[in-house]
Amino acid sequence: MSSNTSRVALVTGASGGIGRAVAERLAADGIAVGVHYAGNKTRADETVAAITSAGGRAVAVGGDVADEHAMSAAFDAVEREFGGLDVVVNTAGIMLLSPIATLDLDDLDRMHRTNIRGTFVVSQQAARRVRGGGAIINFSTSVTRLQFPAYGAYVASKGAVEAMTLVLAREMRGKDITVNAVAPGPTATPLFLEGKDEDTIANLSKAAPLERLGTPQDIAETVAFLAGPARWVNGQVLYTNGGIA
């Protein structure tokens, strides 16, 4: 495995929240980072600026994760800028909550497109391009174990992510590439906090034995572990949730 100073990562959904924390954490390890965004180039540029001002290397790349042509171009751009690709982290996803009985099926289709097809498209490109000694890291959710009401469609999409991730790990036999999924629990991101009252947030904060919400940086530490030293962790779902499940 090459040293981190010559390693390159692409992080999808890296313009904010967990994705930005992951991009900054990998850059702190000396990894050059492609900062992917779907619609918010300004926030992606802010992430790039934060990384470069801290002495790291980064470039912003855009595109719909579910569009194979856009993602092929994004992978091309990162390889062109930094000379190859060693780590792909797929944090991009959307969460639309509703009881199954009343879910708008258009919301189901939107989550399917981004969370399932998007993960599949990015994983497909990663499987073709990541160099030996590299890592592919997808994102699930601890709600697959917690079974919170109103999360049915979202959890269905993430269950699919776990299944394809574990199959891809076996398909990469002989290539020295690990494939894993990270499954965060309640994490203090704008996406998570939006629409929740203080009591709900307080109750969720107490749910884990560590009695707090996770932070994006907590999740990023697990990704950095899988992206770097964790060469014997492969074909796994890592529940990163403080012991909530």
- Token couple for 59: 């470039």
Which token pair is 85? 């690709």
Interatomic CA distance for residues 233 and 229, integer angstroms: 9
Q: Is 154 a catalytic residue?
A: yes
Strand segments, DSSP code E, in the chain are 8-12, 32-37, 58-62, 87-90, 135-139, 178-184, 237-240
Q: Which of 37, 151, 154, 239 is catalytic?
A: 154
Angstrom CA distances, 165 to 38, 77, 116, 123, stand at 22, 24, 11, 8
Please state whether beta strands 237-240 and 178-184 pair in parallel, antiparallel, or not at all (unpaired).
Answer: parallel
The residues annotated as belonging to the active site are: 154
